[in-house]
Structure 1
Amino acid sequence: MIKSVLVIRNDKIGDFVNTWPAPYQLKQALPHASIEVFVDPALKEFAKACPYVDHVIVDNGDDKAITKAFVARHYDAAIVSRSQIRTYRLLRKLNIPYKLAPKLNWYQYLYRHRASIAVPKGLGGWRKSCMMVEHFLADHQIPIPKLPTRYWDLSHERSMWQDYYGQQGEERLIFAHPGTGGSANSISPENFAALLAQVDRLTNINCKFVLTYSGQEIELAKEIYAQLSAMGIKVVMARPLTNLADFAKSLVAADMFMAGSTGPLHIARLHNVPTVGFYAGRRSAPKVRWQTLTQSDKRLAFTPPIGRKTGRNMALIDLDLAAKEIASFLNTQYAKLQAVG
């Protein structure tokens, strides 16, 4: 009987969000087992907030202490979603009956159990975590659960967070996050402000823009705020929250989330919020690899022309066309939300 499973995903926000289907499937398939994760310190509170995670171990860099923590948990299985030679060294001497690694690097052969993570064309990178879990469940003759349309149902908190962000009457909160998660250069504040202004003019709904930011991104947000305010457009700077978990919960208030390939964009998808992503134009198709977990009809993606010289130049995105598509998309989603409400 499987009593505890460890999932290793000790890297960035977006990567961890992409792994949420793993604890979801594990908890559905093994409701009485303890589903545990190994994460980066910055993700500790966020991981604790995941409704499918029972225990969190933080990668504090002290390998002896980490190994001791693993031993104390008495795992029946370990699923290595992020495979590194260091991870193998952490696990190799532990008495864990089943250790599963992806068929990715040469050190996959150091593991007895290996799973293919070759994602079918057209599906996002988030499928990799599912493929690992499905391999594990198949090896143990356990039925594979279906995936949900929403991974984090905080609908009961939506009105509270709408109040937090200052929503009034029929306003729709359109979140926008400047900056980038690293897969592409960011849209300039001037162009981002112009895009939001066009969306506001073209859409049929009553918009209030909420600018979110982290660290030095506050300067980008301030530039956008100043430009939109000067045009008389309703816009607010998001009030800082104490930790990532609270910020992640608060995104349930959003009626749409617009950003480059950033952690916040990926978090918004957990709530099945309509998303608009701006990605690099590469043949490796980042807009597919990093597509959000929202339903396919709730996401839009834009890229500059594919090419070594053009693919990272976000100024080459046709923002006039993007504004028209986003406004139409927003009108459609609003109608759907009204019908559901």
Structure 2
Amino acid sequence: MSSARGNAASPVNPGVKAKEVLVIKLSALGDFVLALGAMRAVREFHPSARITLLTTPPFEEFAKTCPYFDVVETDGRPEGLKGTNALLSRLRRAKYDIVYDFQTSGRTKNYCSVLSRGGKAPLWSGHHEKAAFFHDNPARASMHSIDRLAEQLEVAGVAPQGRWLGKSGPFPDLGWVRPKLGDPPRLSPAYFGIQKPYMLLIPGASEHREAKRWPIENYAELAKRIADLGITPVVIGGKAESAIAQELMKREPRVKSLVTRTDLFQIVTLAETAVFVVGNDTGPMHMATLAGAPGIALFALTESNPDHSAPRGPKTVIVNSAPTLKELSVDDVWQSVRALGILPTGSSLSTG
């Protein structure tokens, strides 16, 4: 494991004495959600500090509701020199005791370099040679996001007895969503006219990454098998998934579409009461399994490595993978759905 600079002058995390703490996480949705466990660990380690999150606009509402932050700033990716200088000036004036860089990109490394020049620089946790808590593990790029963040926290001294062991790791918990919002009607499936039992289909993937898109006819056949068991297939996603949802409903009329209709909070609460979820390697898929839905995650091995980014959750998550998703059959995925052990009695009969 990586460690802080091993000498007598090694820096010490201020812990409960910290007054100002900065957490940096700019994107993307899946990575942001996977970092929530590490964010909670920072909150618990600095209980009296004012903790600021530096992020980007898509996560503003979600982050402001999250109980781990006192301040949310969304100009983490400023445009132009003027915006960058304004951001860096504000970060200097804040006089942070410690910064947790959970983005560890070239951009945030530059922020570290600038803030370390002149005056009293904040302690920095991240992947930068000048960081007080330098996570220099050469294998960090091949680690799952949750495991990598756990090790980064260990280097900074943020871990029970110095180590995150097994299930004690900084696992994201989305259980705060419903109580923080007061459990309004819009968090209920009935708000969308959805009756239980239902499951979620998350077919999203970039249009230019064809290998990551499971064919529409496969989703339609899977939806038919699910609907035949009395479980309503519900499609969620953004504007890019509108055409997919329309085609799915055309091929299987029992499919319901909530595409473009759900915010991040509603994805969480829909997943909490879904029988299961099937989806591509996307941010909403991560949210759904972390919220408690058993899941089948579809991975194109030519595009991404499930060892690095497979969805995790408190219930079973099975990864189905192939070099490209068009090589993954409906029968392969159906077998995994049955292996979850959550289908109604008699579901092991016909496969369509």
**Normalized against structure 1, the TM-score is what?**
0.78
Where structure 2 has 5 or more consecutive residues not aligned to the other structure, the ranges are 1-16, 346-352
What pairs with 1:303-322 in structure 2 (closer than 5 Å)? 303-304=321-322, 311=323, 313-322=324-333
Of all paired residues, the percent bearing the same amino acid is 19
User: Which residue, 285, 288, 291 being the options, matches 2:307?
Assistant: 288
One-letter amino acid of the structure 2 residue matched with residue 57 of structure 1:
E
**Of the candidates 249, 257, 265, which is equivalent to residue 225 of structure 1?**
249
Name the SS of the counterpart of 2:156 in structure 1: helix
Read off the aligned partner of 1:331 and give its amino acid letter.
I
What does residue range 1-341 of structure 1 map to in structure 2 within 5 Å?
A: 1-58=17-74, 59-61=76-78, 62-94=83-115, 95-102=120-127, 108-116=128-136, 124-137=144-157, 146-147=168-169, 151-153=173-175, 154=177, 157=183, 160-168=187-195, 171-180=196-205, 184-201=211-228, 206-229=230-253, 234-238=254-258, 240-241=260-261, 243-282=263-302, 286-295=305-314, 297-304=315-322, 311=323, 313-331=324-342
Whichever residue aligns with residue 287 of structure 2, its letter is I
- Cα distance in 1, alignment partners of residues 286 and 104 from structure 2: 21
Q: C-alpha deviations, 1:178-225, integer Å up to 9, x for none? A: 221669521111111112222444x5xx31111112122110111111
Counterpart code for 1:303: S
Structure 1 unaligned regions, length at least 5 = 103-107, 305-310, 335-341
- Alpha-carbon distance change, 298 to 155 in structure 1, aligned in 2, over 3 angstroms: farther
* Secondary structure of residue in 2 paired with 1:152: coil
- Change in 2 beyond 3 A, CA 1:316/1:93: closer
Deviates more, 1:136-145 or 1:284-293: 136-145
Task: Check conservation: 1:51, 1:152, Cα contact below 8 A.
Answer: no
Aligned Cα root-mean-square deviation (Å): 3.3
Report the more deviating stretch, 211-220 or 124-133: 124-133
CA–CA distance in structure 1, aligned partners of residues 133 and 331 of structure 2:
50
CA contact (8 A) 1:63 1:90 kept: no
SS at match of 2:69: coil
Per the TM alignment, residue 78 of structure 1 is displaced from its structure 2 partner at its CA by 0.8
Report the AA paired with residue 71 of structure 1. R
With over 3 angstroms needed to count, the CA separation of the structure-2 counterparts of 1:110 and 1:63, relative to structure 1, is same
Partner letter of residue 133 of structure 1?
Answer: L
- CA–CA separation in structure 2 for the residues paired with 1:158 and 1:329: 31
- Shift of the alpha carbon at 1:301? 0.9
Instruction: Give 1:150 deviation, angstroms.
Output: 6.1
Q: Which residue of 2 aligns with 1:307?
A: none
Name the CA distance, whole Å, in 2 between partners of 1:136 and 1:333. Answer: 47
8 A contact 1:281–1:303 mirrored in 2? yes
Distance in 2 (alpha carbons) for counterparts of 1:300 and 1:65 = 45
Aligned match of 1:339 = none
**Residues 64, 246 of structure 1: alpha-carbon distance in 2 compared, 3 angstrom cutoff:** farther
Evaluate the alpha carbon distance shift between residue 264 and residue 285 of structure 1 in structure 2; reply closer, same or farther with a 3 A threshold: closer
Measured in 1, the distance between the counterparts of 2:31 and 2:191 equals 28
Residue 43 of structure 1: CA displacement? 1.8
Q: 1:133 to 1:264 in 2, by over 3 A?
A: same
- Partner of 2:193, secondary structure, is coil
Q: Structure 2 vs 1, CA of residues 140 and 221 (structure 1 numbering), >3 Å: closer, same or farther?
A: closer
User: Within 2, Cα distance between the matches of 1:149 and 1:138?
Assistant: 14
The residue type equivalent to 2:198 in the other structure is L
Quote how far apart the aligned CAs of 1:321 are. 2.9
Partners of 2:125 and 2:171 lie apart in 1 by 27
AA aligned opposite 2:307: V
Question: Using a 3 Å threshold, how does the CA distance of structure 1 residues 183 and 162 change in structure 2: closer, same or farther?
Answer: same
User: What's 2:13 paired with?
Assistant: none
Give the C-alpha shift of residue 143 in structure 1. 8.4
- Find the counterpart in structure 2 of residue 337 from structure 1: none
Residues of 2 paired with 1:155 and 1:93: CA distance? 40
- TM-score relative to the length of structure 2: 0.76
Q: CA shift at 1:116, angstroms? A: 4.0
Q: 2:105 and 2:170 mapped to 1: Cα distance?
A: 30
